[in-house]
Structure 1
Amino acid sequence: MADNSVASMDEAARLSPNGRRGGWITFPFIIGTMGCLTLASGGLVANMIVYLIQEFNIKSISAAKIYNFVNGSITLFPIVGAVVADSFVGCFSVIWFSSVISLIGTVILVLTAAVDHLRPPACEDGSNICRYPSHLQFAVLYLGLALASLGTAGTRFTIATMGADQFDSPKHQGIFFNWYIFTMYTATVVSSTAIVYVEDNFSWTWGFTISAVANVLGLALLLSGRRSYRLLKPQGSPFTSLARVAVAAVTKRKMTLSEKNEDYYQDSTKTAPRQPSHFFRFLNRAALQREGDRAITVKQVESLKGLIKLLPLWSTGLLLCTPLAIQLSLTVIQALTMDRHLGGRFKIPAGSMPVFILVSTSLFIFIIDRVALPLWERLATRPLTLLQRVGIGHILTIASMAASAAVERKRLRSVVGKDEIVGMSAMWLVPQLAIAGLGEAFHFPGQIALYYQEFPETLKTTSTAAVALFIGIAFYCSNAIIDVVRSVTTWLPDNINDGRLDNLYWLCCVLGGLNLCYFIVCASLYKYKIVEESGDD
């Protein structure tokens, strides 16, 4: 029954009453869906550390680790949705089904806020001992977080590929990616301010309910435009084809490579025969013609080589995003110890502090796209490449960690021997977050465009999810680093006023510097697919 439903919805999405599919007519539906679903997930995640500390009596560093785990899941599991979309049901089905899953998870979290029995008793200073959540309370909380996270993961980067599929021109695809990032960050800004303000000043129940309503609106927008979408039909699992290349190369390892194009299986009789590239020549044997053999074409061999070539560059994203993940969670805990008042009585919610990264990224993406890059192209002899954009992002991320260390050192000096806030403004955290946002404005769109351009044609959805994959792993790596630091140093006690969080930020600078050197080596050795195909160095 479920399979029939998926098939019928995909068929409805492929048909258009006037025969037109794809193009800018689909833009409002796809971007609107992206905005609403991001608004929904942001309302849950942005203030999670505060929710866990205040409503579930969880210690600050433990709450930060749960926050990192949820963020890791949201950004790690898109790779699963991408594989399912590429291989079996297409982007549209993955998006609408994931939206339903995230809605169920959001409703469960609404219940944790609305039903007293699903939370431990409030922890009142000086009277009651704080009670930890029961097994049932933890189970309901984790179920809601798991479903909301998995649902969000299934939509976030699959929408990016579905949107790019609506356009034939790389220029239009690039414009869409910029608007995709801009919409995602802008919606997160709104959720991290407006919804978080409702949660802190009115009711957690109302805040989570707003997220649920936004989820419903996103799903409705997606379904409303289904007759206008151009949906690429899934071609079966591309990973099976790639695995066959590796197996064939091993089974044909004793065969002698040929210099004749005609000795290799080709992709089509309409194109001129060609030899596989010299990179990883061992794999070229997979495409050699052999009697009674199942054909492995040159294109399939080159697809596997393309992924192998990208692996070193992809791995540099891990230590690029790990410091950002550490900064994202610990900034909220820093803000809880600082003066967050603005203009008298207004107090910035601690969970809203990361919004300055989002504002900075959104603003600088616009400036880079409309001002900086066009100006660079007029002044320089060649345009700024995607790898150069990513490299600038690496440098700015290191600068952000250095600024974080300096500000934390100043904060610690203001609270020596004291546990209470002594007046240092939380606005001191803004510059480091703004620098981090500027770095993301360079490397995040640059990496999405890079992988979409360089991945094999059969793995376009997986290409955008590849960015999510290393971001997700980075959140888990941040937890691992926190665990190691806590086990071998005294830098991260539950009360950060007694620790040395600035040393952790300096450690992030060192790791980022080593990673930058590794990235420069990988980037200098990499040759773009378009350059390879043209034979032009």
Structure 2
Amino acid sequence: MKLKKDSTRTEDGQYYGRITDAAIDGAIDYKNRPADKSKTGRWPAVLFIMGSTAIERMAFYGIAMNLVSYLTLVLHEGTAQSITNVWNWGGVAWITPLVGGFIADTYLGRFKTIAIGLLIYQAGMVLLTLTVALPALKPPPCPTQTNCTNVSESSVKLFFFALYLIAIAIGGVKPCISTLGADQFDEEDEKERPMKQSFFNYWWIAVTGGAVVALTVLVYIQDHVGFGWGYGIPTVGMVFSTFLFLAGRRRYRYKLPQGSPLTQVAQVLVAATRKFRVKVPANAALLHETYQPEKRNILHSNNFRFLDKAATPRGEEIKESLAGDEGSVNRWHLCTVTQVEEVKLLVKVLPIWFTTLMFIVTSQQLGTVFLRQGLTLDLHMGHHFKIPPASMELTCSLTALLAIPLYDRFLVPFVRRFTGNERGFTLLQRIGIGLMITVLSMAVAAIVEIKRLGVVKEHGLQLSKSPLPMSVFWLTPQYSIMGLAQVFGWMGMLEFFYDQAPDDMQSIGTALFLSNTGVAHFLCTAIVNILGQVTGRGGRENWIQPVTNQSRLDKYYWLLTIMAAINCVLYFIAAWWYTYKQATRQSNEKLVKVAPSEAPLPE
């Protein structure tokens, strides 16, 4: 791949394109680029991305973590309605990255997709701030929360329009920004590969750091000053996020969009179907393959042998394959081994995708059901200070912030001695540990809820909206355990879907992880709706009532505990079956360096 004429070479030997051409379009030569000789390596470029991410996450969590409070206390929605509205919005926000990832990998590249997404994000934040700040667009204050006046239907629609505009913008930002950060490190470079493996840990620190600011400063302002200021501050923050991201544009490495991945998948399926009677050779070396300097080749695997028919030459195709002239090969008739293996990778990750849904379902209780519990408890810390209920999730974030450096600096080197894996745990092992921890978190939440309901019954407060004589800090264990689960499960999933995606589809790979979160939001809504129908039959009381003190959240948590435990078993079966991607790169006309994703350390 040739660099464009307006690209430049800096003192540290890196190629950078100008913002009007190569920087946006994505010109970089990974095979022939000189080594990075700068003392700080790729981290200065990454810091621009991580800084922008931290501010954007502050804005997102400043909305998401206290949205139940706004819907409940300002728009006067009931428990089930407010929770399902949050989950539905979150579902869209986490599903749209599939579209954004596809656009980035196919047409625009990651940089352009992120930049456009940030601009739409900014417009949504401005509109959302106006809807919660202007008196004409919000209900009048109702301190007693009884016989409250509702806002007009048009104002409610405008509020949700702003929310969903932000959700669309997130679709362009989230699947690409972490992927662009990981792209700054070359997997084939001995110096940069360990940095890339640590990147996701430190990127998560940036995400969690933004969440911490949202859960302390922004949530406090929203509860004690007003949502106008609480949303206005992150709106200004998004201006700085956009500026910071664009400021690093001349330092980033870029990858060219490689065309529609759907077309590549379709070519393999069509070619394999055309040759359904062709026998696949026992020797994989007889399958069609070419070597491209700008990407790695994926080694042949024995899974889904039917698809290998697409790479099996026949007739005149044998001559074309031996000639190595890709220009004369019709990809709808003959595909490369790498192209076939890319389709296999997408198929193989699906069982992992399905069996990690339950992890996200349990995680989504943090800002919804856990928060509804917190709203009923005594929020005082000392005699004069009241904790904003949404700030309890800070316990989860702080646990993660403390655990990530310990994990990276101490646990990984310790475990590495026994496993021989440079990551310590394999990616699937790390996810599995996270899944098991969520089972514990749900069980603890159920036990705490039994205690809370005991206090409700003891003081006869089933219909009261006054705080219970029980501290909100009783919720600390379930929040902390969930924070530890995210260090293993959430971060492991993010790295897994990025790492195991084909090189040309890594934005889509990240989007696949994010879509997992979106589907889980809708699954949460479905669970609550089904529970309402099943538990409310025959005149019995629904487990989830509009008034939290009349609900049976303990039974709901025990149900999630059982579902999470069963899911763990299914996950371990899928993980046992999975085989990791192995890739090679051609250098100086020779095939060198096998780079399996989960290779043991050399002896």
Higher mean C-alpha displacement, 329-338 vs 252-261: 252-261
Counterpart for residue 403 of structure 1: 444
In the alignment, the residues of structure 2 paired with residue 441 and residue 483 of structure 1 have an alpha-carbon distance, to the nearest angstrom, of 30
Q: After the TM superposition, which residues 38-57 of structure 1 pair with which residues of structure 2 at under 5 Å, given as runs?
A: 38-57=57-76
Give a deviation string over 1:245-269, Cα, whole Å, max 9, x none. 0111112112222335575322239
407, 414, 417: which one pairs with 1:375? 414
Q: Could you tell me which amino acid in structure 1 is paired with residue 183 of structure 2?
A: D
Q: Could you tell me which amino acid in structure 1 is paired with residue 256 of structure 2?
A: K
Give a deviation string over 1:338-362, Cα, whole Å, max 9, x none. 0011021111111222222122122
Does the 8 Å contact 1:200/1:349 carry over to 2? yes
497, 507, 514: which one pairs with 1:461? 507
Residue 542 of structure 2 corresponds to residue 503 of structure 1: no
- Summarize the Cα distance change of 1:15–1:243 in structure 2 as closer, same or farther, 3 Å threshold: closer
The total of aligned residue pairs comes to 528
Give a deviation string over 1:49-101, Cα, whole Å, max 9, x none. 11112221222321111111222222222222111111111111111111111
Q: Deviation of residue 120 (structure 1)?
A: 2.8
Q: Deviation of residue 422 (structure 1)?
A: 2.7
- Summarize the Cα distance change of 1:247–1:259 in structure 2 as closer, same or farther, 3 Å threshold: same
In the alignment, the residues of structure 1 paired with residue 23 and residue 530 of structure 2 have an alpha-carbon distance, to the nearest angstrom, of 52
Residue 338 of structure 2 corresponds to residue 299 of structure 1: yes
Give a deviation string over 1:239-291, Cα, whole Å, max 9, x none. 210111011111211222233557532223999x9995321111111112244
Counterpart for residue 432 of structure 1: 478
Q: Could you tell me which amino acid in structure 1 is paired with residue 375 of structure 2?
A: L
Counterpart for residue 177 of structure 2: 159
Does the 8 Å contact 2:19/2:249 carry over to 1? no
Counterpart for residue 167 of structure 2: 149
Does the 8 Å contact 1:98/1:152 carry over to 2? yes
Counterpart for residue 9 of structure 2: none
378, 383, 403: which one pairs with 1:364? 403
In the alignment, the residues of structure 2 paired with residue 20 and residue 70 of structure 1 have an alpha-carbon distance, to the nearest angstrom, of 45
Counterpart for residue 187 of structure 1: 210
Residue 525 of structure 2 corresponds to residue 525 of structure 1: no
277, 284, 287: which one pairs with 2:308? 284
Q: Deviation of residue 506 (structure 1)?
A: 0.3
Q: Deviation of residue 160 (structure 1)?
A: 0.5
In the alignment, the residues of structure 1 paired with residue 473 and residue 283 of structure 2 have an alpha-carbon distance, to the nearest angstrom, of 67
In the alignment, the residues of structure 1 paired with residue 478 and residue 298 of structure 2 have an alpha-carbon distance, to the nearest angstrom, of 51
Q: Could you tell me which amino acid in structure 2 is paired with residue 283 of structure 1?
A: L
In the alignment, the residues of structure 1 paired with residue 203 and residue 554 of structure 2 have an alpha-carbon distance, to the nearest angstrom, of 34
Q: Could you tell me which amino acid in structure 1 is paired with residue 280 of structure 2?
A: L
Counterpart for residue 350 of structure 1: 389
Give a deviation string over 1:101-127, Cα, whole Å, max 9, x none. 11111111111122112123334649x
In the alignment, the residues of structure 1 paired with residue 502 and residue 95 of structure 2 have an alpha-carbon distance, to the nearest angstrom, of 21
Q: Could you tell me which amino acid in structure 2 is paired with residue 516 of structure 1?
A: C
Counterpart for residue 149 of structure 2: 131
Q: Could you tell me which amino acid in structure 2 is paired with residue 334 of structure 1?
A: Q
Higher mean C-alpha displacement, 417-426 vs 161-170: 417-426
Q: Deviation of residue 381 (structure 1)?
A: 5.8
Give a deviation string over 1:389-414, Cα, whole Å, max 9, x none. 11110110000000000001100110
- Summarize the Cα distance change of 1:124–1:256 in structure 2 as closer, same or farther, 3 Å threshold: same
In the alignment, the residues of structure 1 paired with residue 194 and residue 595 of structure 2 have an alpha-carbon distance, to the nearest angstrom, of 20
Does the 8 Å contact 1:37/1:152 carry over to 2? no
In the alignment, the residues of structure 1 paired with residue 292 and residue 116 of structure 2 have an alpha-carbon distance, to the nearest angstrom, of 40
In the alignment, the residues of structure 1 paired with residue 380 and residue 299 of structure 2 have an alpha-carbon distance, to the nearest angstrom, of 67
Give a deviation string over 1:19-51, Cα, whole Å, max 9, x none. 999822202211111111111222222211111
In the alignment, the residues of structure 1 paired with residue 335 and residue 228 of structure 2 have an alpha-carbon distance, to the nearest angstrom, of 57
Does the 8 Å contact 1:10/1:93 carry over to 2? no
Give a deviation string over 1:181-210, Cα, whole Å, max 9, x none. 111011111111101111111121111110
In the alignment, the residues of structure 2 paired with residue 233 and residue 246 of structure 1 have an alpha-carbon distance, to the nearest angstrom, of 25
- Summarize the Cα distance change of 1:81–1:269 in structure 2 as closer, same or farther, 3 Å threshold: closer
Counterpart for residue 530 of structure 2: 484
- Summarize the Cα distance change of 1:188–1:274 in structure 2 as closer, same or farther, 3 Å threshold: closer
Does the 8 Å contact 1:404/1:429 carry over to 2? yes
3-state SS, counterpart of residue 400 of structure 1? helix
3-state SS, counterpart of residue 208 of structure 1? helix
Q: Deviation of residue 9 (structure 1)?
A: 4.3
Residue 389 of structure 2 corresponds to residue 389 of structure 1: no
- Summarize the Cα distance change of 1:136–1:356 in structure 2 as closer, same or farther, 3 Å threshold: same
14, 27, 48: which one pairs with 1:29? 48
Counterpart for residue 91 of structure 1: 110
Does the 8 Å contact 1:48/1:351 carry over to 2? no
- Summarize the Cα distance change of 1:269–1:151 in structure 2 as closer, same or farther, 3 Å threshold: closer
In the alignment, the residues of structure 2 paired with residue 458 and residue 394 of structure 1 have an alpha-carbon distance, to the nearest angstrom, of 29
Counterpart for residue 231 of structure 1: 254
Q: Could you tell me which amino acid in structure 1 is paired with residue 531 of structure 2?
A: V
Give a deviation string over 1:447-492, Cα, whole Å, max 9, x none. 2222222221111112222221111111111111011112222210
Higher mean C-alpha displacement, 333-342 vs 19-28: 19-28
3-state SS, counterpart of residue 32 of structure 1? helix
Give a deviation string over 1:305-352, Cα, whole Å, max 9, x none. 111111111211111211221343111111110001102111111122
Does the 8 Å contact 2:435/2:568 carry over to 1? yes
Question: Which ranges of structure 1 fall in alignment gaps of 5 or more residues?
Answer: 1-6
Does the 8 Å contact 1:306/1:456 carry over to 2? yes
Q: Could you tell me which amino acid in structure 1 is paired with residue 54 of structure 2?
A: G
In the alignment, the residues of structure 1 paired with residue 435 and residue 90 of structure 2 have an alpha-carbon distance, to the nearest angstrom, of 21
Q: Could you tell me which amino acid in structure 2 is paired with residue 255 of structure 1?
A: V
Counterpart for residue 12 of structure 2: none
Does the 8 Å contact 1:261/1:275 carry over to 2? no
In the alignment, the residues of structure 2 paired with residue 269 and residue 32 of structure 1 have an alpha-carbon distance, to the nearest angstrom, of 34
Does the 8 Å contact 2:66/2:367 carry over to 1? no
Q: What RMSD, in angstroms, separates the aligned Cα atoms of the two structures?
A: 2.7
Counterpart for residue 3 of structure 1: none
Which one has the bigger helix percentage?
1
Counterpart for residue 320 of structure 2: none
Q: Deviation of residue 304 (structure 1)?
A: 0.7
Q: Could you tell me which amino acid in structure 1 is paired with residue 444 of structure 2?
A: A
Q: Deviation of residue 527 (structure 1)?
A: 2.0
- Summarize the Cα distance change of 1:10–1:91 in structure 2 as closer, same or farther, 3 Å threshold: farther
Counterpart for residue 337 of structure 1: 376
Does the 8 Å contact 2:366/2:393 carry over to 1? no
62, 73, 76: which one pairs with 2:95? 76
Residue 124 of structure 2 corresponds to residue 105 of structure 1: yes
Counterpart for residue 4 of structure 1: none
In the alignment, the residues of structure 2 paired with residue 150 and residue 355 of structure 1 have an alpha-carbon distance, to the nearest angstrom, of 26
3-state SS, counterpart of residue 158 of structure 1? helix
Does the 8 Å contact 2:359/2:564 carry over to 1? yes
Give a deviation string over 1:135-179, Cα, whole Å, max 9, x none. 211221111101122223321231110001111133111221111
Q: Could you tell me which amino acid in structure 1 is paired with residue 503 of structure 2?
A: E
In the alignment, the residues of structure 2 paired with residue 97 and residue 249 of structure 1 have an alpha-carbon distance, to the nearest angstrom, of 38
Counterpart for residue 475 of structure 1: 521
In the alignment, the residues of structure 1 paired with residue 282 and residue 412 of structure 2 have an alpha-carbon distance, to the nearest angstrom, of 43
